[in-house]
Amino acid sequence: MLEFRKDLFADERDDNLHVIGKGEQRQDMLGHVTGRTRFFDDHGFDGLLHLKVVRSPHHHARIRSIDVSAAERAPGVKRVIRAQDVPVNRNTLLSLIGFGKDDEPTLAVDKVRYKGEPIVAVIADSEPEAMAAAKLVRVSYDPLPTVFDVQEALKPGAVVVNETYPGNYFEYHDKYDHQKLRFGDVEAAFRTADHVIEERYQMSPIEHASTETNGTIAAPETNDRYVVHSCAQGLFFSLGTTAKILALESNRLHFIGGTVGGGFGGKVDSLTEPLAVLGAILTGRPVRYVLGREEEMQFGSPRGAERHVIKDGVMRDGRIVARQITSYFDAGAYTRLTSYGVVKCVAHMPGPYTIPNVRGDAYCVFTNRVPATAMRGFGVTGVDFSIEVQMDKLAHLVGIDPMEFRILNAYRDGDMKAHRRVAHNTALIECVQVAAQKSNWALSETARRASSLSGGGGPRAAIPPTVTDESGRIGRPETRQAPPQLTPGAAAPLPAYQAPPAVPVHQPPHQPVPPLPNYPSQPAGAAPLPPVPTPPVPAPPAPPQHGAARFSSVFTRRR
């Protein structure tokens, strides 16, 4: 059942539109419901070869030797790909936006860091032959000690998972082992609060479980290019990743996709594209590399586990005066996207509430498990679970109805958020009111009258004097445990923050069309047409630098 509350925010909308707001049927619906839509795996090629990888049976081990001779002689085998065959066998996904150090091989070299890590790829005439030959690859290992708990991994002397990050944490700003959020003074506020509670929350990994597993079909075209039928959630993101790993100019890859059988974040990592294209290059034939369901569930990257420890100071009247969140994101053995999710989590703290003192410390931690990736609600779902259970506990503690407690603390238009931007376009209070109404959950008159449009701003727009600290310097875990120190001058208010325009500079969609580039009216049959205005072509990326944007000084360490 779906109803619209058109009465709310009506004066902010123009509802006289032709197509927008109409429940029109999708252009692709007929194909989907009749089973005729073509997904990546519906593209047939003559002479199609099949690729399977040999995966590590150990969570952490040194590779002593790899013997592929039996596999190469197996029936139907056309090619075995080893680590030394991969042109650029070290990458990190977000290098395309200049964030982080290359830390992950396409095929493992010297060492495996998680159970299921690919070591060798086998290409054969059929999938059964590829799988049979993969079993003939002999790899001998020296198993190494493992670490699976994020807080264990952060301890000095812990097993080093990923040598690119020897402390088992992603490095932020070339300075800290975590991302900080500092707003006000939580310690002082805890001292004045009527109640202080600290609770620990844990979200386990989650599999995306899309109907379609990850996969790619790559084939040589006749013009020294390769066509790639891809399941990627970001077509150019996967193209850029593949081009980098294979040391190809981006225009030698022709990616086709866009119709994907479910993703939820599980098709951002380019798990299959680079090896499928490399297989096509090395064999000169079309190559299909598709993960089986078991491979997808066990070794396809899942939503990573998150641990959040929340300490709150609350007054008897229900006002939350301080919130401190320490977050540990389990990246698994390689960075992939977890470093980014951590910053997104920090941006989300302390949830949709106006709290005058907030402190956040979020870590991206490496452990010996399958690398984690994005999933629906990345960086937010786990902390939302933790914050909202915490809110329920706080409401219970002070004896206030949980809905009323949300409305009391909700952010409103004009409030300053902990990341130092003014809130606008808020609607949390109205959502709580409508949900209460629909579920016959009684609210007080005060709660029913509250509004996101009023009561915010003023003193709630202020940036408080803020305590900063230098805890958690890279390579100095002892500074992480040390009590917070006031750095010289840090107790003084920060320089007044100049709020930017609410929305960054871009063309607002509702403004009238700007003057169009020259379209001179000209009489029919006029002589030579004026040159057609050429669309500005995006500046071609310099060869070593893939991708469009560069993350700025936040992410200074680049490769």
Partner 1 sequence: MTRHQGRGMASINYPIGMNLGGDPSQALVHANPDGKFTVALSAIDLGQGMKQVSRQIAAETLGVPIEDVYVDTADSDTGPHDMGSFASRGTHRVGNAVIVAAKEARGVLLEAAAEELEVNADDLVTDGKGNIHVRGAASKSITVKAASQAAQFKQGKTISGRGIFLIPLSNVNPETGEMSPVTAYAHACLVVDLEVCDETGDVKVNKMTSAYELGRALNPRMVEQQLVGGAWMGMSHALYETPEPYYPNPEHGGRDYNEYLLPGPGDIAPHDIAVLERPAPDGPFGGKGPGEMCANPVLPAVANAIFNAIGVRIDTLPITPEKILRALKAQGGARPQVRRA
Site for partner 1 in 269-288 (CB under 8 A): none
Please list every residue from 117 through 146 that binds partner 1, using CB under 8 A: none
Q: Which of 55, 58, 59, 323 binds partner 1 (CB under 8 A)?
A: 59
Q: Which H/E stretch holds residue 243?
A: helix 235-246
Interface with partner 1 includes 191 (CB under 8 A)?
Answer: no
Q: Which of 315, 435, 486, 492 binds partner 1 (CB under 8 A)?
A: 435
Nearer to partner 1, 107 or 410 (CB): 410
Interface with partner 1 includes 422 (CB under 8 A)?
Answer: no
- What's the min distance (Å) between Cβ of 400 and partner 1? 12
Q: Does the N-terminal peptide bond of residue 514 adopt cis geometry, omega within 30 degrees of 0?
A: no
| Cβ contact 474:171 at 8 Å | yes
Least Cα distance to 277 among 521, 440, 51, 36 occurs for: 51
Interface with partner 1 includes 302 (CB under 8 A)?
Answer: yes
Interface with partner 1 includes 425 (CB under 8 A)?
Answer: yes
Q: 559 vs 103, 239, 542, 543, 555, CA distance in Å?
A: 10, 19, 14, 13, 11
Q: Which of 87, 101, 196, 236 binds partner 1 (CB under 8 A)?
A: 236
| Cβ contact 415:354 at 8 Å | yes
Q: Which of 76, 87, 220, 261 binds partner 1 (CB under 8 A)?
A: 261
Given the DSSP bridges, would you call strands 320-332 and 358-366 parallel, antiparallel or unpaired? parallel
Task: State the DSSP code for 385.
Answer: H
Burial class (CB in 10 A: 0-12, 13-18, 19+), 86: buried
Interface with partner 1 includes 473 (CB under 8 A)?
Answer: no
Least Cα distance to 323 among 467, 197, 465 occurs for: 197
Interface with partner 1 includes 443 (CB under 8 A)?
Answer: no
Lookup: tokens for 452: 């996101």
3-class DSSP state of 478? helix
Q: Scanning the structure block, which residue is given the tokens 């325009």?
A: 501
Nearer to partner 1, 478 or 539 (CB): 539
Nearer to partner 1, 83 or 349 (CB): 349
| Cβ contact 264:376 at 8 Å | yes
Q: Which of 191, 200, 448, 449 binds partner 1 (CB under 8 A)?
A: 200
Site string for partner 1, 321-360 (x = CB under 8 A): ---------x---------x--xx-xxx--xx-------x
Only one of the segments 84-92, 105-113, 120-128, 257-265 lies at the binding site for partner 1 (rule: CB under 8 A); that segment is 257-265
- What's the min distance (Å) between Cβ of 37 and partner 1? 10
- What's the min distance (Å) between Cβ of 81 and partner 1? 24
Nearer to partner 1, 84 or 495 (CB): 495
Nearer to partner 1, 47 or 145 (CB): 145
Interface with partner 1 includes 438 (CB under 8 A)?
Answer: yes
Interface with partner 1 includes 79 (CB under 8 A)?
Answer: no
Please list every residue from 17 through 56 that binds partner 1, using CB under 8 A: 17-28
Please list every residue from 493 through 552 that binds partner 1, using CB under 8 A: 494, 497, 500, 502-509, 513, 516, 519, 521-522, 524-526, 529, 532, 535, 538, 548-552
Q: Which of 298, 451, 479, 545 binds partner 1 (CB under 8 A)?
A: 298
Tell me, by CB under 8 A, how many residues bind partner 1: 162
Interface with partner 1 includes 258 (CB under 8 A)?
Answer: yes
Q: Which of 88, 297, 443, 461 binds partner 1 (CB under 8 A)?
A: 297
Please list every residue from 367 through 406 that binds partner 1, using CB under 8 A: 367-369, 374, 376-381, 384-389, 391-393, 402-403, 406
Taking the C-alpha atoms of residue 89 and residue 96, their distance in angstroms, rounded to an integer, is 15
- What's the min distance (Å) between Cβ of 334 and partner 1? 16
Burial class (CB in 10 A: 0-12, 13-18, 19+), 13: exposed
| Cβ contact 345:364 at 8 Å | no
Interface with partner 1 includes 293 (CB under 8 A)?
Answer: yes
- What's the min distance (Å) between Cβ of 482 and partner 1? 16
Site string for partner 1, 150-189 (x = CB under 8 A): x---------------------xx-xx--xxxxx------
Task: Write out 199-239 in H/E/C secondary structure.
Answer: EEEEECCECCCCCCCCEEEEEECCCCCEEEEECCCCHHHHH
Task: State the DSSP code for 422.
Answer: B
Nearer to partner 1, 37 or 72 (CB): 37
Taking the C-alpha atoms of residue 51 and residue 280, their distance in angstroms, rounded to an integer, is 10
Q: 322 vs 98, 408, 517, CA distance in Å?
A: 35, 15, 54
- What's the min distance (Å) between Cβ of 277 and partner 1? 13
Nearer to partner 1, 164 or 242 (CB): 242
Q: What angle in degrees, to the nearest 10, is found between the helix axes of 402-409 and 428-438? A: 160
Reported residue count of the chain is 559
Taking the C-alpha atoms of residue 271 and residue 93, their distance in angstroms, rounded to an integer, is 11
Q: Which of 319, 420, 476, 558 binds partner 1 (CB under 8 A)?
A: 420
**Residue 47, number of CB atoms within 10 A of its CB:** 10
